[in-house]
Every structure is written in structure tokens, then in C-alpha cells.
Amino acid sequence: MTHLPTEFPDFGLTPQQRRQAVRTHYYELPGMDGERGEIWCYTDRFCYRPSETVALHVSATASIFRLAITRDGCTEIKVFEKAGIAARWQDTPDQCSVEGCGWDASFEFRIGDDWPSGAYRITLEADGRDGKPIHCYHLFIVAPQPGKKPGRVLQVAATGTWLAYNTWGGSNHYEGITGANRDQYARMVSTQRPWCRGFVVLPKDAPRVPLEVAVPPKTVPRYPHMEWAFATGHSKKYASSGWASYDSHFLRFAERAGYGVDLASQHELHFSPEILDGYDCVAFVGHDEYWTWEMRDAVDAYVERGGYAARFAGNFMWQTRLEDDGRRQVCYKYKARAEDPAYRGGDVTRATNSWEAPEIGRPGAATFGLNATRGVYAGWGGCAPRGVRGFPVYRPEHWAFTGTGIYYGDVLGADSHIYGYEVDGLDFEIRGGLPYPTATSGAPDGLQVLAVGMASQVEESADVPLKDQFLGDEDGRFTAETLFGEPSDANLDKVKRGSGMIVNFPRGKGEVFHAGSCEWVAGLLRQDAMVECVTKNVLDRYLGKS
């Protein structure tokens, strides 16, 4: 078993800086590196097909830069490099997070016909004003060509969530510099800006969100990932989303294990749902929180007609809308009922609220079997900080656990900490020692609950004052208002205790397996044999190999 340290890691911050790291809003913006100089870039789209042209938009203090493009998988493959490309500093609008940067294209290149589908890392390097190199990283996806792909998995990158958390330019769907006082989160965010630092590449020792500390009693909550980000100049949200923290670990594991994996962005689900037709198995992983109605339509139709959806991901929470041909994502979130035009003469079912809002009429469980509003936080802050680190197993005889040697009551993935930091669940009851969804849970017919852990929507401690809590009860009150009409104490009490589950159910001619935790990929990153075995069992069954 893992033996955890009893003290929080020290990143050289003062107590005041540690508080700043958590409580204040900091972000990447042009000019932030001062006299050293800097280079930034973005591509005109998230995803391309072979033979298409990529427009690279660059702003730099240097006059020339070097470019390298590498496919980022189990084995890294450099596919393109070029030096001596001209650059210049390009002015950036104050509200670029919302409007886009609007930079002119600096360089164009063609996707090779022989570039396999996957994630491609762009590395830009130039000379800083002090003579030392300056760098920038970006990422784009090469989607597969149309056609049947027997034996291959299509992984759909959680690009809606990447976009929601991207702090570059000052605003995302969490914090921001919008509004009259420049202190509001952005209801709309643009794809036309760089990725924030930490979304594309990370050092191996970058902390994940769930705590790797045996928290002593009465301890004020700490957030090592935010402290590390503050100390090292990374985005505050690097550990909450992005290729480097989440999606990459599944693709590398699958390729290492011998699976053929293709990659697409969520924009393909929205605009080109036929991309799913060539695959027996589609996988969703990591922190996968933001979806459009059309993306869900694509997955529901795919499963109904015989497809298999494997979701190793958590926090299926928000409906979004795409505007400007997909270049802008809209999500009013907590302010939806007050501000979203969908509530004022629009189609209220498309309101950018939680999927479980009754007026939307499409709870997350209808697609993936679980709801975010019945799950949420585990293993960080004051939300179950000493709770289970894996999934307590109730139905070990299920095919997903074949070959694991797991027993009833064992905890799957505890050593590799696969449970957290946000999880999805259902209202459930225990009968004869086994969990069953309640009649009002919204669970699809035939759903089996294989594993259940505890989660919380509030930080609640008699020993830690409210001023020292980062999460508090705001999310719990929002859920109470969403589900029951008002954020009263009585309604909060109905929702504050959540769960995280592994479930499996048939749908139409297809099937869904959902391990409802953001951190499942931590088990693949840390090469946890049991977690790898379950993942292979699901992929093999869904690819027709078992």
C-alpha cells in the first residue's frame, strides 16, 4: 500500500504567496515575461485532416523563430522542422480570451498524407533579448481519414474542457477580466489564442489535483498543484485540464499496450458526427466536463446503432453552445438562468446550464449513465481529503474485472489514486449489500453499479473556519437551486453528499462502460496493473477481441 507523507510539499512560497496561489487570479498575457522577451502561437483550428493546411499565428519579441512538430504518443515522432521563419510582435486585444487574438498568420504548413492521426506538439524556439532561448508550445490534432477502422479505438479529446479552463489572455469559464469591474468569468471563450502554460507539456513531477498527503486532523486545506503553478510560472488550471495532465496518458498507455488509437477533437463530434461510424469503440478520458447538445446526439446515435462507448472520465457537467463556426464556446454556467438568451425567448433546452437542470430535460445519465450533480469532489481541499483513493468494488464478478483477482469490498486503483478529483454518480440505495440506482435517479434501463465511492459538494468542517475554505458550499448551493429551485439549507442537505461510480449498461444495439472519475488516467500514468487490466478488458470487449 502507498505510504503518504504527512507534510505538504514545499515549493519555496511564503504563507502569503501560498494564499495568493489559491485565492487570486493570475494568467498568461502578452508581455508577462518582461525584458527576456517571449513567443506565443496558436493554430486556426483544433483539428485537421491529412492534406489540409494549418495556419500558425505567432507573436514574438524575436524577428525569427525555429519550428518543430512532433507526434506525441507512446513513441515521439518528429514530422517537420524549419528554421529562419519570420516573426513580429502582434498587438493583442484586451478581451482576447473572448474575442480571439486576431493575429495575422505567420506561417502555413500542410498536414502530410502519411501523418498518422494523433496529437501533434508544436515547439517554437527563438532567441530572447538576453541571448537565452525562449519557447512556446502548442498542440493540434490530426483526425483520421473517413472509412472503417476495424480493431482501432477512436479517442475523443476533451477540447471543450481544455477551452473552458484555458487561462491565456485573462479569462476562462471560471475566472476572468470581463465585466464592469474586470472580475467576472467569461461566458464566451475563443479558440483563437494560445494554450496556457502546462496544457501541452509538463514535467513529470508536476502535482496532480488529488492530495498525495496524509492530511493531519484539523488542517486548513492546501492545494499543492496551485502552489506549484504559482511557484513555477504555469497556469493555475494546468492540473484541471489539458492534454498534458489527462488525455495524453490514455493514448500513451493504449499505444504501449498494442492498441491502434486515432484521435479527434470534440468539434468533430459536433460538426462531423459521421467520424464515429468507422469505429467499434470510442473512448472519452480524463476531465471531460463541457459538451454541446449535438455532441451528445452523435454519441447517443452511435451507441443506439451498435457502437461501444468507453468513458474513463469524470464531471459530465455543462451544456455549451458553439458559435462563429466553432471558434467561440458559450457557457453561462451559474448565471445561465439570469443571463443566457436561451431563457428569454430562445430554446431553453439549449441553455448553457448544468445538464441536470430540469428545463433542459436531458440529464447526463441519459448518455453516460451518471450525473455530475450527484457526484463532484473527492480527495482535495476539504472534500473527503482522507477518503478512498480508488473505487470500492461491489460486483467483482462483472466481466470488467476479469483477471484482476479483485474481491467484493476491495478498492480498485487506491495505490495509483484513480478516484477524484471530480467524480460522477447517481442517487442510489443498498439492498442486500449491493448498490442499485433509485427509481428517481434517471439511470438508464439495465444499468449495473459495479463500484461506488463517496464524494462531497461542500467543504464542511467544524474545525476549519469558512474563511480558510476555497470551495466552501457554493457548488452545493448551485446544485440545490438547479435541482430543487432554491439554494436553501434544506435543499443543500439533499445534494451535498455525492458518489463516484463505475457503471455499465446496454443501449439499443450498443453498450456503455463509464468509470466516472477524472483521475482514472492516473492509474495508466502510474502503470497500476489492476487499472490497466480493467481498461484492457473494456477495450478488448468493445473491439471484439474477447
Asked if the model's pLDDT at residue 81 lies above 90, the reply is yes
* Nearest Cα to Cα of residue 208 among 312, 313, 286, 120: 286
Confidence of residue 180 (pLDDT cuts 50, 70, 90): very high
Cβ contacts of 258 within 8 Å, gap of 6 or more: none
SS (H, E, C) 246-286: HHHHHHHHHHHCCCEEEEEEHHHHHHCHHHHHHCCEEEEEE
CA atoms within 13 A on the CB side of 284: 32
Rounded Cα–Cα distance for residues 377 and 421 (Å): 6
Rounded-to-10 torsion of CA 69, 73, 77, 83 = 20
Residues 339-397 have pLDDT tens digits of 999 999 989 999 999 999 999 999 999 999 999 999 999 999 889 999 999 999 999 99
Cell digits of residue 359: 428545463
Rg (CA), the chain: 22
Domain chopping of the chain, boundaries: 15-150+161-232, 303-314+368-543
Q: Which three cell numbers stand for residue 286?
A: 480524463
Asked if residue 493 has pLDDT above 70, the reply is yes
Cell of 13: 512560497
Q: What's the mean pLDDT in 150-175?
A: 98
Q: What is the pLDDT averaged over residues 295-323?
A: 98
Question: Is the pLDDT reported for residue 1 higher than 60?
Answer: no
Check residue 462 and give its pLDDT: 81
Give the pLDDT confidence of 395-423 residue by residue, as tens digits: 999 999 999 999 999 999 999 999 999 99
CA distances from 330 to 20, 44, 98, 187, 327 (A): 29, 18, 10, 6, 10
Asked whether the beta carbons of 380 and 211 are under 8 A apart, the reply is: yes
Decide: 394 and 408 in contact? Cβ < 8 Å.
yes
Query: Quick count: other Cβ atoms within 10 Å of Cβ 430?
Result: 11
Model confidence at 532: pLDDT above 70: yes
Residue pointed to by grid coordinates 448565471: 335
pTM comes to 0.97
Q: Is residue 21 helix, strand or coil?
A: helix
pLDDT for the residue 406: 97
Q: In this structure, what C-alpha cell is assigned to residue 117?
A: 492521426
**Average pLDDT value for residue range 21-35:** 96
H or E element, residue 329: strand 328-330
Q: What is the CATH number of domain 15-150+161-232?
A: 2.60.40.1930
| Other Cβ atoms closer than 10 A to 368 | 27
